[in-house]
Amino acid sequence: MASFVTCPGCESSCYATRGPSGAAECSACGLRLGDEPRDTSPEQVIDGSLVLLRQMMHMDVALLTEIADDREVIRHCAGEWPGAGDLSGASVSLDDTFCNRLLAGEIDNIVPDVAAEPAVRDLAHPRRLGVRSYIGVPIHGSRSRLYVLCCLAREVHPELGPRDVRVLEGFVRSLLDQLEPPPPTESSIG
């Protein structure tokens, strides 16, 4: 399982890589990290993953949302939206979201310029917030739960492309284990 760490030297969220000595090093600054494994909760792994994703995508926020009861609920958020702050726990009508349009097949995974995309111009909530670009991928959980991993920005991002969708899909694979850990095996039940 992949896990992210926060480097005590540069405070970036990154994968811990093995350096020439075999010790764990920060992939951003090369600082040698502690060799002892750290216990991290699924929430910490998800939050660290979103911080890294937001940085990699150069977006204002990275969100992990859950679709339930005709609502989109933000379960985890990295970054703050100007004027709205931390979006964690916020809930909006599914009808007024990019993610609903993505799930319905009305838009692609990427909307680099919201103002230029007719399929989302009528979304009032994103317009009020000033969202200018969007990228997202659905996460179909094994327990009939539906999530969306997405990033939003206040600026147009014409450089977003298929590679960026693949990056999000890679994050989805690692996050799914955190969202829905496998049931305990007989040997671990005791």
Closest CA to 109 of 119, 118, 120, 98: 98
Same domain, 54 and 66: yes
Question: Which pLDDT score, from 0 to 100, does residue 85 have?
Answer: 73
Same domain, 49 and 119: yes
Same domain, 14 and 90: no
In which band, very low, low, confident or very high, does the pLDDT at 83 lie, cut at 50, 70 and 90? confident
Q: What is the pLDDT of residues 110-121, one digit of tens each?
A: 999 999 999 999
- For residue 157, give the 3-state DSSP assignment: coil
Same domain, 26 and 62: no
Same domain, 175 and 153: yes
> What is the number of structural domains in the chain?
2
Question: Which pLDDT score, from 0 to 100, does residue 41 have?
Answer: 83
CATH number of 160's domain: 3.30.450.40
Same domain, 115 and 143: yes
Same domain, 97 and 165: yes
- 186: in domain: no
Which segment of 9-18, 24-33, 36-45, 54-63 scores lowest on mean pLDDT?
9-18
- 24: in domain: yes
In which band, very low, low, confident or very high, does the pLDDT at 178 lie, cut at 50, 70 and 90? confident
Q: Which domain holds residue 22?
A: 1-39
Encoding tokens for residue 2?
A: 């992949």
Position of tokens 């703050």?
80
- 188: in domain: no
- 159: in domain: yes
Ramachandran assignment for 51, one of left (phi > 0), alpha (psi -120 to 50 degrees), beta (any other): alpha
Residue 94 scores a pLDDT above 90: yes
How far apart (Å, rounded) are the C-alpha atoms in residues 190 and 84? Answer: 47
In which band, very low, low, confident or very high, does the pLDDT at 173 lie, cut at 50, 70 and 90? confident
Same domain, 35 and 78: no
Same domain, 72 and 143: yes
Encoding tokens for residue 175?
A: 């996050």
Q: What is the pLDDT of residues 95-154, one digit of tens each?
A: 999 999 999 999 999 999 999 999 999 999 899 999 999 999 999 887 778 999 999 999
Same domain, 85 and 140: yes
How far apart (Å, rounded) are the C-alpha atoms in residues 17 and 143? Answer: 33
- Taking the model in full, what pTM does it have? 0.75
Residue 39 scores a pLDDT above 70: no
Same domain, 22 and 81: no
Same domain, 53 and 30: no
Question: Mean pLDDT throughout 175-187?
Answer: 71
